[in-house]
Amino acid sequence: MRGGDRSWGLGFLYGLYQRRLRRELAGAVRPRHVAIILDGNRRWAKQRALETAGHGHRAGAAKFREFLDWCDERDIEVATLYLLSTDNLRGREPDELHDLFEIIATLADDLSHYRDWRVKHVGDAAGLPPELISALTAAEARTAGKTGLHVNLAVGYGGRREIADAMRSIVRKHSDEGGTLDALAEILTPDLIGEHLYTGGQPDPDLVIRTSGEQRLSDFMLWQSAHSEFYFVEALGPDFREIDFLRALRDFATRQRRFGK
């Protein structure tokens, strides 16, 4: 079989399998909120001998757009994208961070003009350049009244920092209202902390997907993922395919979520 014929044949089989997965998911239990750690962009660029990691991050941003389309088509309500962590801000080289800031700002702007999606920045603005903060703020404002897929952009995000910020917010509010420490101890509950997280008012992620074969959370949604289902994919971020996503949904539909019962 010639190369072109082989590619056509593989594409045909891929299409058949994809349609079969879609049929299997018809009527299946689906997650309300899916979060994704699209890992492996730098390795993807290195494997292709591309000049900089920025090429991998741009391919990852394009994949994020595809992923959101897949979520929207499956009637998922909330999707959270892990774009830049607080650890990344400390550990990446300045040139790579500069590329990432530009890529994320462009992604936020693009998403805010697409369909009826609502875009929200979840994370801490500390350490982010003014141009990126402006792009994230503008995307939020532009989409505030939209009612479609809710897209969380986790930028400058760290799960431990989020919990600390939530606690500071609770203590500050309680103090401003004239409350005492003893009274605070009485009202401090997991529900109250949840209300003060960056994602306050949203459902917790039912499903967390991570690409590139890594099997760790990397400080992502530590509080919210307490009862999440996890799905790990070997493919590097830019190679993540719709059939990988559909397999994750199929796997989720078969799991029994007991929540301690």
pLDDT band for position 1 (cuts 50, 70, 90):
very low
Read off the amino acid at residue 1. Answer: M
pLDDT band for position 251 (cuts 50, 70, 90):
very high
Give dist(CA 261, CA 153) in Å, integer.
33
Backbone angles phi, psi at 45, to 5 degrees: -65, -40
Domain count, the chain: 1
Q: Taking each helix axis from N to C terminus, what angle separates 242-254 and 3-25, rounded to the nearest 10 degrees?
A: 30
Here the CATH number for the domain that contains residue 227 is: 3.40.1180.10
Q: Which residue has the tokens 């532009």?
A: 142
Q: Is residue 211 part of a domain?
A: yes
CA 172 to chain centre: 29
Q: Which residue has the tokens 């590097």?
A: 236
Q: What is the pLDDT of residue 197?
A: 98
Read off the amino acid at residue 181. Answer: L
Answer for the pair 98, 118: CB distance below 8 angstroms, yes or no. no
- Count Cβ atoms below 10 Å from residue 190 Cβ, excluding itself: 9
CA 19 to chain centre: 25
Q: Is residue 233 part of a domain?
A: yes
| Domain extent at residue 141 | 31-254
Instruction: Supply the residues annotated as catalytic.
Output: 39, 88
pLDDT one-digit tens code per residue, 33-80: 999 999 999 999 999 999 899 999 999 999 999 999 999 999 999 999
Q: Which residue has the tokens 């088509």?
A: 73
- Count Cβ atoms below 10 Å from residue 97 Cβ, excluding itself: 17
Q: Over range 141-147, report the average pLDDT.
A: 97
Q: What global pTM score does this model have?
A: 0.92
Q: Is residue 15 part of a domain?
A: no
Q: What's the chain's average pLDDT?
A: 93
Strand partners, 209: 36, 231
DSSP letter string, 140-205: HHHHTT--S-EEEEEEEE-HHHHHHHHHHHHHHHHHHTT--HHHHHHH--HHHHHHTSTTTTSPPP
Q: What is the pLDDT of residue 158?
A: 97
Q: Is residue 21 part of a domain?
A: no
20-26-28 Cα angle (round to 5): 115
Q: Is residue 17 part of a domain?
A: no
pLDDT band for position 260 (cuts 50, 70, 90):
low
Give dist(CA 179, CA 193) in Å, integer.
17
Q: What is the pLDDT of residue 41?
A: 96
207-210: strand order across its sheet: 118-122, 150-157, 78-85, 33-37, 207-210, 229-232
Q: Is residue 163 part of a domain?
A: yes
pLDDT band for position 176 (cuts 50, 70, 90):
confident
More confident residue, 140 or 5: 140
Kindly list the distances between the CA atom of residue 127 and the CA atoms of 16, 53, 120, 124, 234, in Å, as whole numbers in the listed order: 47, 21, 18, 8, 32
Q: Is residue 19 part of a domain?
A: no
Give dist(CA 77, CA 43) in Å, integer.
31
